[in-house]
Amino acid sequence: MAGMLYLVPTPIGNLGDISIRCRQILEEADFIAAEDTRVTMKLLNHLGIKKSLVSYYEHNKAQKGNWILERIQAGETCALVSDAGSPAISDPGEDLVRQCAEAGITVCAIPGPCAVITALSISGQATGRFCFEGFLSTAKKSRREHLESLISEKRTMIFYEAPHKLLSTLEDMASVFGAERPISLCRELTKLHEEVIRTTLGQAIAMYTEQSPRGEFVLVLAGASDETPALPTAQDAALFVARLMDAGMSRKDAIKKTALDLKLPKNIVYDAALGHSE
């Protein structure tokens, strides 16, 4: 019998979200390839399934991918899972799917939990057209470049983000899209403390300056509308501050007034005025 690869989505918080079909495939597969075998072992224990596990993650995928492929070609069935959600979506799997497709191996994706779709559907933003932008880079320059490439994007934009980077990401977003741009912050989806904050970038910054963000987040940002005004850039802010200072205002007051008038977060204006924005 020919082997095949199953992509098996797992719960993003609520264990009850494992489907009957996923459970059956995990039970029947010859082996399970998992991002973190300890995480998957907890799920298997919960389901009462005993199965041989192999690790397949970012840093061993080149070597392990070939080995998994050989086993499938020898007739075995592999179920690929990630720590949570759908494999291959900002998770290991993309390369394995490509390798299998190139080798003529059948790949079967089981529908199921996926943070991007769960967030979009609950966000209250337009769902007709959207684009998934994954994680932004940790490097400030490439994060800004990524966001600036989206400045005219009309579709709803979806981002994954870690809590410790949330505030600086919101600040970068506000400087590119404006503080008034609507955003839904979808936090701890399907978990006990699930929360959806439908607000603007400016208000989200104010909120998370007061309290540290906790838990897992998906950011669902409204696209540009026909009424979206041309946005002031960091350079505009620097110029504005310079003019006010030329007119005799102190730097502190000039930054405050610029932030207010251009509806930009104060720290963005501060950075721009001091030439730190690039």
Least distance (Å) from ligand SAM to the CB of residue 123?
Answer: 12
When asked if residue 133 is in the footprint of ligand SAM (CB under 6 A), the reply is no
| Minimum distance from residue 260 beta carbon to ligand SAM (Å) | 32
- Min dist CB 108 to ligand SAM, Å, is 17
Nearer to ligand SAM, 214 or 243 (CB): 214
Burial (Cβ within 10 Å: 0-12, 13-18, ≥19) of residue 156? buried
| List of residues 6+ apart from 87 with CB closer than 8 A | 7, 8, 9, 35, 80, 81, 93
Strands (E), the chain: 4-7, 31-34, 53-55, 77-81, 106-109, 130-135, 156-161, 182-187, 195-200, 217-221
Contacts for 72 with CB less than 8 Å, ≥ 6 apart: 3, 4, 5, 78, 100, 105
**Count of residues touching ligand SAM (by CB under 6 A):** 23
Exactly one of 7, 68, 179, 186 binds ligand SAM (CB under 6 A); that residue is 186
How far apart are CB 148 and ligand SAM at their closest, in Å?
A: 22
Q: Examine residue 30 and tell whether it contacts ligand SAM (CB under 6 A).
A: no
Residue 157 near residue 131 (C-beta atoms within 8 A)? yes
Would you give the binding string for ligand SAM spanning residues 91-130, x where CB under 6 A is met?
Answer: x----------------------xx---------------
Rounded to whole angstroms, what are the CA distances from 164 to 215, 216, 235? 10, 10, 27
Which 147-166 positions form the footprint of ligand SAM (CB under 6 A)? 160-162
For the CB of residue 238, give the shortest distance to ligand SAM in the complex, in Å. Answer: 33
Work out whether 10 is an interface residue with ligand SAM (CB under 6 A): no
Q: Minimal CA–CA distance to 132: which of 113, 112, 118? A: 118
Cα distance between residue 233 and residue 251, in whole Å: 19
As measured in angstroms, the least distance from the Cβ of 82 to ligand SAM is: 5
The correct pick among 190, 199, 203, 209 for binding ligand SAM (CB under 6 A) is: 190
Residue 76 touches ligand SAM, criterion: CB under 6 A? no
Phi-psi region of 179 (alpha: psi -120 to 50; beta: other; left: phi over 0): alpha
Interacting residue ranges for ligand SAM, rule: CB under 6 A: 12-13, 82, 84-86, 89-91, 114-115, 160-162, 186-191, 216-218
